[in-house]
Amino acid sequence: MTGAPVVRGTVIEAGERIDDDIDTTDGTEPRDLRSGHSGNGNDAPTRRWNPDIDARMAAYEPSVEDVLSPTLDELSTADPERITLVPDAHYPFHPSTGMVTDPALVGATLSLLDDRTDAELAVAGTSSAAIAFERTTDYLGYPSLVARTGAELVDCSDDDLERERYVLTNDDHAVAVSVPVRLRESAVITVPTLRPTDAGAFAGGRRTLARLVDAVTDAAATAVAATRAIDPRGSLLDATTAYGESPYAANTLFAGPTPAVDTLGESLLGRSSTADRTRAAELEAMGTADSASELSTVRVTPVGPTADASGVDFEQHLATLRKRLDGASLPPSDATHPAVSAAYRLYAAVGGDAVPPQLDARGGH
């Protein structure tokens, strides 16, 4: 793990909220989450995946309400016209893999927002070269889910969406992104997953937002600029199932300012936003660096079955998360390494064999 930061957070207590710094690196006394959680109604503590989306929503709702309460309070007061959730819905991977936001978590959040606000609700994502957003959301079961609250599914790659150019600049740097206006005019909550991207970065809230904007700069700068342009109200990090080198039922939710939650996620995956000093300096110059003080605003709560299990040691839980997720990476590509392809071609030429199509450039179905 690189540069493991001290991660501080707020633990949700039953009936009250206690601002209590959690130092996962200094060996302070472990906390027993059993005594500090409001419960979720599950009778049988178990870490098994529950395929019933209604049961998962019911299990998530109390924890979402707890961990997202400052944001919910703020939205209740601010009374925005529209609230948009931006989940990690990039491809129809099964939610039990941790590779996408669990739609049940989005459903639970929509339900709470529907109860607590009068805002129009939306769930936004985008189509990619690989697959249309509509197809992804269909396969993940979003249409029936959003119908419960009347929320709208919005494909930000839709050409009909009005967009505006946003330029993030300072003395030395300028990054321009084209952002759907309705996102800029909406109260946005990102709901990313605790997983690595194809490129090995943390697929946090900023990168989830970055997929919704058009830009010509690199992924990190786009993520920063998209976040500044959209200015999300916060991030609800879905670590109910995380993905390290395999799925892990972490049964945890984190919430807070998007950059801070991202920093926490990066640390759990063994990434450090400060490891690249040049990049860190750039971000600092743009006013988007994540200060340690921001981390103390991240709230965390167990969710689902783990929340009811007795004797859960919170500090150990985070340490376990780090251990399980450190060095997270996706499975290796099917694409054969060029050197292997070259060697196979040489062998095939000498041995009179055919070259398997997998060693050719891919195409078609």
Partner 1 sequence: MCSAIRSRLSGSSGLALGVLGVGNIGMVHLKSALSMAAVDVRAAADAMPENRNRAERAGVARTYDDYTTLLDAEELDAAVVALPPFLHADAVERAAENDIDVFVEKPLARSTEEADRLLETARKAGIAVGVDHTLRYQPDMIGVKSEYEDGTVGHVPYASITRLNDGPLGRPPVEHAPPSWPLDADAAGGGSLLELGIHCFDVLEWLFGDLEVRDATTGTTLDIPVEDAATVLLRAPETETTITLHCGSYQWEQLPEVNTRLRLEGVTGTISNQDHLPGNFYASAAKSALSNVASRVTGSESDVFGPTFYLQAHYEALSAFCDAIRNGDRPPVDGQDGKRSLELAETAYELAAAGDDTELETMEVTR
Which residues of this chain interact with partner 1, rule CB under 8 A? Answer: 51-53, 91-95, 97, 99, 103, 128-131, 138-141, 144, 198, 330-335, 347, 350-358, 360-365
Contacts of 126 (CB under 8 A, 6+ apart): 133, 155, 156, 157, 211, 212
Nearest approach, Cβ of residue 166 and partner 1 (Å) = 28
SS3 177: strand
Nearest approach, Cβ of residue 240 and partner 1 (Å) = 14
Nearest approach, Cβ of residue 199 and partner 1 (Å) = 9
Nearest approach, Cβ of residue 154 and partner 1 (Å) = 19
State both tokens at 88: 């990690």
Nearer to partner 1, 53 or 309 (CB): 53
Nearer to partner 1, 52 or 115 (CB): 52
Nearer to partner 1, 311 or 364 (CB): 364
Cβ(141)–Cβ(150) below 8 Å: no
Cβ(17)–Cβ(219) below 8 Å: no
- DSSP lists the bridge partners of residue 299 as 10, 255
Nearest approach, Cβ of residue 33 and partner 1 (Å) = 28
Nearest approach, Cβ of residue 345 and partner 1 (Å) = 12
Nearer to partner 1, 171 or 334 (CB): 334
Nearer to partner 1, 135 or 165 (CB): 135
Nearest approach, Cβ of residue 97 and partner 1 (Å) = 8
User: Which three-class secondary structure string do you get for 211-278?
Assistant: CCCEECCCHHHHHHHHHHHHCCCEEEEEECCEECCCEECCCEEEEECHHHHHHHHHHHCCCCCCCCHH
**How many residues in the chain?**
365
Nearer to partner 1, 103 or 204 (CB): 103
Nearer to partner 1, 9 or 87 (CB): 87
- Among residues 252, 273, 262, the alpha carbon closest in space to that of 320 is found at 252
Distances (CA, A) of 206 to 112, 122, 234, 270, 320: 23, 18, 10, 18, 25
Distances (CA, A) of 212 to 90, 118, 260: 11, 25, 20
Side-chain-side CA neighbours of residue 336 (13 Å)? 16
